Amino acid sequence: MTRVITVIGMLIITLSSCAVYKQPLRGTGDLAVIIEREQASILIADTSRQSIIKRINGFGDLSHASVVFSRDQRYAYIFGRDGGLSKVDLLTQRIDKRIIQAGNSIGGAISQDGKTIAVSNYDPGGVKLFDAQKLEIIADIAATPIAGKNSKVVGLVDAPGNGFVFSLWDSGEIWHLIDHDQLTKYSHVGINPYDGLITANGRYYLAGLFGEDGLVKLDLWHPEQGVSHILPDYAKDDPKMPVYKMPHLEGWASTENYFYLPGIGHHEVLLVNKQDFLVSRRIKTYGQPVFVMASPTEREIWVNFAPPNNDKIQIIDANTHQISKTLDAGKGVLHMEFTPRGEAVWVSIRDENRVDIYDTQCNCVIKSLPAHKPSGIFMTYRAHRIGL
C-alpha cells in the first residue's frame, strides 16, 4: 500500500512539473533576442529554424537597449535607457527579475567568469555592479563630479581578469576596474569620449572622441604605458559635417590585419592597420556609417548608415577593400547580426516592421520575420566573446 501511494505521489509531482514547464527540450546556442523598443518588448527567435518563438512585454524604455548573455546562454540581461536591468529566461520565455537601478543608463557588460553584471549610467553618473544570479548590488562606483554632477559613463566593456573598462564623457577619462575594487584612472585622455570597444583578444580598448579629432587607445597588456592618441590628423583639413547618428563602436569590424572604422560625420569607412594604427585607406560609402560589421569569415564587411541614407547596406570586399555590392534593404535599417559561422545575417528594418534574413552567399533575402519597429538583434553566441 505504501509503495502504491509513493508511486502515485511521484506521478503527481511529475505531472505537476510538466504542467509548469511546457516548453520542449531544446538548447540555447541558436537563440536570439530582438528589441522592439517602441512597445517595450522583445522577441525571442530561433536562428536555426529562422522563426519567432515568443514576444515578451514589460521592459520600459528600450531606446539604445543592449543585451548580454549568461555563459550557459540561458539568460539574457537587457539594459534599458530608463535604468532598467532585466534578466530574461530564454527557455521559459519569461522575465526572471527586473530592477530599476538608475534614472538613465547606456548599456552594460558581463564579467569574464559570468558572475557579475556591470551597468554604465548617465544619471547618476557611474557604474553599478550586480550579482548575475540575483541582481543584487555588489558595488556602486561614482564617476568624477563635474560642476556638481557626476560624469556620464559610456563605452563600458568587459575585460580579461574579470575586469571592466569604461569612459567618462564629461571628465575625459578612461577607468579600468578589476575584481570590483582595483581601479586605475587615466585622466585627460581627450574631449568627450563617446563610446568604446575592446578587441576580440581583450588587449586594446579604443574610445572615440566627439570633442576632437582622432581616437584613443589603451593597451591592457601594457597598462603602464597609459592612453595614447591614434588617428589625430584624420580629416583635420576636411570640412566639418553634421553627425546624423553616432557610430556604434562595438560594431566596428576587425579582420586579421585591419580595423574597419566608421568615419564620424563622413561618408567613408577607414581602413586602419593593426600594427601601427595608421589609416591605410579611406573607403567612400553611400552615407555616414553607423555599424561596420565583419562576417565571422572576415571575407566581407557589412555597413549600414545614418539617416537620411538608412535605406541601404553596402558590402566591402575584405580582399580588395572596395565596395562589392549595394543592397536596397528598406527604410530604417538599424542593426545587423551575423549568425555564428556567417552563413546568414539578420537585419532589422525598423520602418517596415520586419527583420530580414540574408544568405551571405547570394547576398539575398531568404526570409522575413514580422517585428514591431525592430532595432537591436543579439544572438546568444555573444556569451563566449570578449567585449560582447
Q: How far apart are CA 32 and CA 344, in angstroms?
A: 13
Asked whether residue 200 is assigned to any structural domain, the reply reads yes
Give the CA distances from residue 325 to residues 41, 79, 306, 334, in Å, rounded to whole numbers and listed in that order.
Answer: 33, 34, 18, 19
| C-alpha to C-alpha distance for 308 and 92, rounded to whole angstroms | 40
- Determine, yes or no, domain membership for 152: yes
Residues 80 and 62 sit within 8 Å (Cβ to Cβ): yes
The answer to whether the beta carbons of residues 300 and 360 sit under 8 Å apart is: yes
Q: Is residue 162 part of a domain?
A: yes
pTM value is 0.92
What whole-number distance in Å separates Cα of residue 31 and Cα of residue 128? 28
Q: Which amino acid is at 333?
A: V
Q: What is the pLDDT of residues 117-170, one digit of tens each?
A: 999 999 999 999 999 999 999 999 999 999 999 999 999 999 999 999 999 999
Choose among 270, 192, 195, 188: nearest CA to 235: 270
Q: Residue 211's domain is classified under what CATH number? A: 2.40.10.500
pLDDT at 175 over 60: yes
Assess if residue 177 is contained within a domain. yes
Q: Could you tell me how far CA 11 lies from the centroid of its own chain?
A: 45
Which residues, in sequence order, are CB contacts of 209 under 8 Å at separation 6+? 190, 191, 192, 193, 194, 215, 216
pLDDT per position as a tens digit, 319-335: 999 999 999 999 999 99
With respect to residue 234, please indicate whether it lies within any of the assigned structural domains: yes
- Please count the structural domains in the chain: 1
Q: Using the predicted structure, report yes or no on whether residue 14 has a pLDDT greater than 70.
A: no
User: Which residue do the cell numbers 593597451 mark?
Assistant: 219
Q: Predicted confidence band at 366 (pLDDT cuts at 50, 70, 90)? A: very high
By residue range, what is the domain housing residue 197? 140-243
Please state, as a whole number, how many other Cβ atoms lie within 10 Å of the Cβ of residue 51: 10
Report how far apart, in Å, the C-alpha atoms of 66 and of each of 107, 127, 224 are. 6, 16, 31
pLDDT at 16 over 50: no
Would residue 144 count as lying in a domain?
yes
State residue 162 phi and psi, 5-degree precision. 55, 40
Residue 27 CB partners (closer than 8 Å, separation 6+): none
Residue 15 pLDDT more than 90?
Answer: no
pLDDT digits (tens, 9 = 90+) for 94-106: 999 999 999 999 9
Give a yes or no: residue 7 inside a domain.
no
Residues for the chain: how many in total?
388
pLDDT digits (tens, 9 = 90+) for 201-235: 999 999 988 888 889 999 999 999 999 999 877 76
What would the grid cell of residue 31 be? 537563440
Asked whether residue 235 is assigned to any structural domain, the reply reads: yes
